[in-house]
Structure 1
Amino acid sequence: MLRWTTAYMEDPAFPHLGDSSQSLLRACPRQCSCPRDDTVDCSGLGLRVFPDNITKAARLRRRAWRQQRHWCEPLHSTPQNNQLRELPYNELSRLSGLRTLDLHNNLISSEGLPDEAFESLTQLEHFYVAHNKLSVAPQFLPRSLRVADLAANEVVEIFPLTFGEKPELRSVYLHDNRLSNTGLPPNTFHGSEAITTLSLSSNRLSYLPPSLPASLERLHLQNNLISRVPRGALSLQTQLRELHLQHNQLTDSGLDATTFRLERVPPALPRHLKALVMPHNRVAVLGARDLGSARTLVELNLAYNCLASERVHPVAFRRLRALHSLDLAGNQLSRLPQGLPTSLRSLRLQRNQLRALEPEPLAGLNKLQELSLAHNRLRVGNIGPGTWHELQALQVLDLSHNELSFVPPDLPEALEELHLQANCISFVGPEAFLTTPHLRALFLRANRLHMTSISAEAFLGLSHLRVVDTAENPEQVLVQLPSKGRGP
């Protein structure tokens, strides 16, 4: 199909073209159809040769435009679904303004697609030659190229300038060919730094091609012979969203444990993203703007990364005003993060290096319902006065596996579940739970409690208390729960 922009046919601002317009209408190639003034459709006609009168029609349209001091080049040529075996250079050389060349579903061989055919196509943006008989790719494709589809051929070799030095190239489709790693030179994509989609599935690759574009977002490598993904193979592809490796020959020994671990939060996150889940990576820095584009986040999971307090910017979380769940477990934080969103319902900070708690980072978190601080190095003396004051909705508090010597005072009134197991608690005084009348479950196992360590008055007023776990202490500790009849 050939298309021209011919709005002048209907625009009263242009005078009648006279005989030239009549010649233009008669220029439709035999057997083809011209349903519109800007369209020549020759697809699906069983053509064996490229119709030369297509370019004659192009020349007639050019002459018509010259009479009005305007110029118009053909935009699209799509002689697909035919039986073409070659593409004549002399015909394409007359279509220098061609933007789209669609030759898919023909019988074109590499010999029938000479490199000279592309010399004059300096504006070509879309090149479709899927489902043909190519054995090697064209050596030189135009620098203007944006999309190239060579799928379902018999290609065994790609050349450095087939896809290299194409600054506008976005998508490359090479699936269903016969490519091995020797057919892909190391500089295949050199100078093409905007490619986001690369499809190499159903080929004969035995390992990941080197020097893949850092801009990749989608990489398809399924149905190959890949047996190993080495360390750092995808370390530069920080924007990768899709990776398909199914139906290869991979085993556990062929995958390095750090191969797919990210070192930064991917840039330019989708604006309407609701959940970002990135546990078990190597993220070590969280800058002021790293999460700025994802203001609609409801869930953020950066557990088990390498975040240290000094490398988390004070305003890193401030713009996440819809955030409900934040998981920073298993990092290297030595203090509570600053600028936490007041919308938080759940905050997980277990398995860090926290030694102290101050009230400022928790200020305004009056919607927080669950807080986990387990497996840190907290001591009661390092929990600042007023730390729990604003946590008015907190129902679950996990302080297990710390270095607490007694129950922290002034705990939130709404608290229902308190985890204090695996600390150093040796005494529970009569006022230990005075501020937590709604407590339902209390876990004190694996501390230093004895029979006389818990004051009988400690549980007075806890009419909702149903579970008290005191196992694995030096002595068996029996606790009599308040009568159920006393509760509301």
Structure 2
Amino acid sequence: MTQLCSGGFLLLLLASVPSSFLLKDQEEDELPLATSRPARVTPAQNVPGCPSKCTCPTEETVDCGGLDLHIFPSNLSAGIQHLSLQNNQLQELPYNELSRLARLKTLNLHNNHINSDGLPDEAFESLQLLQYIYLANNKLTLAPQFLPNTLRIVDLAANRLTCIYPLTFGHKPGLRSVYMHNNQLNNTGLPFDVFNGSDAVSTLILSSNRLTYVPQNLPHALVRLHLQNNFISRVPKGALSSQWRLRELYLQNNNLSSEGLDTSTFSRLKSLEYLDLSNNNLTQVPAGFPANIVILHLGRNRLSSLPPERLSRVKGLQYLLLQGNTLTAAGVHPDAFSHLRFLHTLHLYNNRLERIPLGLPRRVRSLMLLHNQITRVGLHDFAGTYALVELNLSYNRLYSAHIHRLAFRKLRRLETLDISGNHLTLLPAGLPSSLQVLNLQKNQLNSLSPELLANLSMLKELHLAHNRLRISSISPGTWQELYGLKLLDLSYNELSYVPPDLPESLEYLYLQHNRIAVIMAEAFLTTPNIRVITLRSNRLLAANVSEMAFADLKLLEVVDTTGNPEPISISLLQAVRYTNTNMGT
């Protein structure tokens, strides 16, 4: 909890704002304070004169939050500085009561039923020391016409505001943060001079309103600007030309088209690090991006091409998100990423790529290519991406014969490979020894051999669910080099019994939805460290399950045998340490 005054414990519970925005490097007094209530002090701890049922740890602090109050308290001391009335049923603020509180610095009215008729124009004129006002989650349709020029934070979010006045936020030199998200503001409701004389505003939240273009004459000191979830179709020329301190700009979920932007729209935002333009109607990558952008989100637009010059200036880019567009491999120019030397995360999923694009960033660490139309992986497709740690090729159109046996030879740092949801009948050859997670579920695998799993001693998870594996198709010695394997998922296959010679390191074994009809005494002889075994929905009968199979598994915690033809009861040694998940018992 932020402390708003020196000396004494501040019990006020001030309204919070959404935690989704990035609040790095934000001044302490800009941070929205938490809404979680600390333990109330007992009445004996309250200072004299504290209103009934309220909490008053000091003479300056009164907390009357969450008391179902319908009327503003009438016996408040004129000397209080911090007043919390959040989470009540107040409908109006009586001027005669409020005007007595001339020393008030913090007023929290979050989550009441105050409407504009219950908020007189002169309501705050006597509060010439007020710094923090929280009126979020009320029923205001008009903003207060006059707010004190001493304010630092104003929160009017989640009301029904349609109009802001020039002196609501104007001429307040100390104002830092303004929250107006989730209202009904359109551009005519924001006067051109709404922030005149308030040059220190660094946080402005206008998301989830009815704006159709980016407001002009915004404060020059803005660091974070939230305009997402509006109806914005254009950014007027020069609207952002003076915001050279802006670091975060959120414009996602609007109606922005490429015609609504020009080459200078973003070019002067020299400090910009985060730009979100996702879920708009862009058909081209905007021009003029500043060089310091670290995260660029262009997902869910209508981009069909990546020309070489549009991203060349963004040399500090680390995250590039392009999912959900209409990109084809031919539309991605081989030089599109050539200047992005620090790019380590690239999302190209849910596009129309029919092959791996040329010219992938050399230092990319996470590459998401799932849900495309890729039909083959060639010898040189990943030859230049030596830094890859995570590669996702799931839900494409890959066949085993179309993955070159040396396709992954250069990926010596690769830890996670996902090729699930394709048409593979064999494990890919030449998998890198650095792999820790291999995901191959929902293919058509019908055999496993030790040659294709050789040297994978660092593999910890192997996911093979939803394939066509049978015991006869798993060659002897298949698991022999998987010394570090912890999790093996063989569910939804065609196994008739537990595969033999499983790795000693195994802790989690998933065998549900197979055809297993018998558990022999030696089934888990090689897996003394097993913790979880799932056998549900197989063909097990009690007479065909040997309790000796589980007798020496000292670490076993869960055996799931539900969904078999008859209940299976397994007596585990030291049963107090184990959980036998058997709904039919």
TM-score (norm 2): 0.43
Partner of 1:397: 346
Q: Is the 8 A contact 1:216 1:237 kept in 2?
A: no
Matched, 1:268 2:233: no
2:188 is the counterpart of 1:236: yes
Q: Residue type of the partner of 2:431?
A: L
Tell me whether 1:481 sits opposite 2:431 in the alignment.
yes
The residue aligned with 2:300 is 351
| 2:305–2:328 CA contact under 8 A, matched in 1 | yes
Q: Assess if the C-alpha contact under 8 Å between 1:334 and 1:354 holds in 2.
A: yes
Structure with the bigger percentage of helix: 1
Q: 1:274-423, aligned counterparts within 5 Å?
A: 274-423=223-372
Residue 382 of structure 1: SS of its match in structure 2? coil
Distance 2:357 2:161 in 1: 57
Aligned 1:198-277 pairs, distance under 5 A: 215=166, 217=168, 236-238=188-190, 260-277=209-226
What is the match of residue 405 of structure 2? 456
Measure how far apart 1:266 and its partner are: 2.8
The structural deviation recorded for 1:364 is 2.1
After TM superposition, give the deviation of residue 474 of structure 1 in Å: 2.9
CA contact (8 A) 2:122 2:146 kept: no
Deviations 1:202-234 (A, max 9, x none): xxxxx9799x56546469xxxxxxxxxx99676
8 Å contact from structure 1 (residues 470, 477) kept in 2:
no
Unaligned stretches of 5+ residues in structure 1? 1-104, 106-128, 133-157, 159-170, 177-188, 199-206, 220-229, 242-257
State the alpha-carbon separation in 2 of the partners of residues 288 and 276 from structure 1: 17
Q: Give CA deviations for 1:359-381 in whole Å, capped at 9, x if unaligned.
A: 11111222111101100000111
1:381-432 Cα offsets, whole Å, 9 max, x none, are: 1222311111111111111010001001121111111110000001000101
Q: Take 2:410 and 2:208, find their aligned partners in 1: how far apart are those partners?
A: 55
Distance in 1 separating the partners of 2:288 and 2:346: 21
Q: What is the alpha-carbon distance in structure 2 between the residues aligned to residue 270 and residue 313 of structure 1?
A: 21
Hey, what's the Cα distance between the residues in 1 that align with 2:121 and 2:302? Answer: 47
1:131 and 2:96 correspond? yes
1:300 & 1:208 partners in 2: Cα distance? 24
Q: Distance between the aligned counterparts of 1:418 and 1:465, measured in 2?
A: 11
Residues matched between the structures, number: 276
Choose 466-475 or 337-346, whichever is displaced more. Answer: 466-475
In the alignment, structure 2 segments of 5+ residues that lack a partner are 1-77, 79-93, 98-116, 126-141, 149-158, 171-181, 196-206, 435-454, 458-585
Q: Tell me how far apart the structure 1 counterparts of residues 275 and 370 of structure 2 sit (CA, whole Å).
A: 23
SS in 1 for 2:269: coil
Contact 1:214 1:236 in 2 (8 A): no
- Partners of 2:415 and 2:244 lie apart in 1 by 41
Query: C-alpha distance in 1, partners of 2:169/2:425?
Result: 59
Deviations 1:277-313 (A, max 9, x none): 2211111111231112321011111011110001112
Q: Residue 298 of structure 1 aligns to which amino acid in structure 2?
A: R
Counterpart amino acid of residue 295 in structure 2: S
- 8 Å contact from structure 1 (residues 353, 376) kept in 2: yes
For 2:382, what is the secondary structure of its paired residue?
coil
Q: Is the 8 A contact 1:235 1:260 kept in 2?
A: no
**Among candidates 372, 379, 398, match of residue 430 of structure 1:** 379
The separation in 2 between residues aligned to 1:410 and 1:293, in whole angstroms, is 36
* Counterpart Cα distance in 2 of 1:404 and 1:391: 21
Of residues 319-328 and 361-370 in structure 1, the stretch that sits farther from structure 2 once superposed is: 361-370
Provide, for residues 48-69 of structure 1, a one-character-per-residue CA deviation record: whole Å limited to 9, x for no partner: xxxxxxxxxxxxxxxxxxxxxx
**Matches of 2:123 and 2:249 in 1, distance apart?**
36
Query: Aligned partners of 1:482, 1:443: CA distance in 2, in Å?
Result: 15
* Higher Cα Rg, which structure: 1
Equivalent position amino acid for 2:335 in 1: G
Counterpart position of 1:465? 414
Alpha-carbon distance between aligned partners in 2 of 1:266 and 1:216, rounded to the nearest angstrom: 17
Q: TM-score, normalised by structure 1?
A: 0.51
The equivalent residue for 1:203 is none
Q: Contact 2:233–2:257 (CA<8 Å) still a contact in 1?
A: yes
Task: Tell me how far apart the structure 2 counterparts of residues 397 and 357 of structure 1 sit (CA, whole Å).
Answer: 13
Greater shift in the superposed pair: 473-482 or 379-388: 473-482
CA 1:330–1:213 in structure 2 vs 1: closer, same or farther (change >3 Å)?
closer
Q: Secondary structure at the match of 2:346?
A: strand
Identical-pair percentage:
30
Distance in 2 separating the partners of 1:446 and 1:288 = 42
CA distance in 2, matches of 1:345, 1:400: 20
8 Å contact kept, 2:234–2:260: yes
Specify whether residues 378 and 196 from structure 1 end up closer, same or farther in structure 2 by C-alpha distance, changes over 3 A only.
Answer: farther
What is the CA-CA distance between 1:174 and the residue it aligns to? 4.0
CA contact (8 A) 1:463 1:486 kept: no
Tell me, in whole angstroms, the C-alpha distance in 2 between the residues paired with 1:213 and 1:418: 45
Tell me whether 1:444 sits opposite 2:396 in the alignment: no
Give distance in 2, aligned partners of 1:472 and 1:174: 63
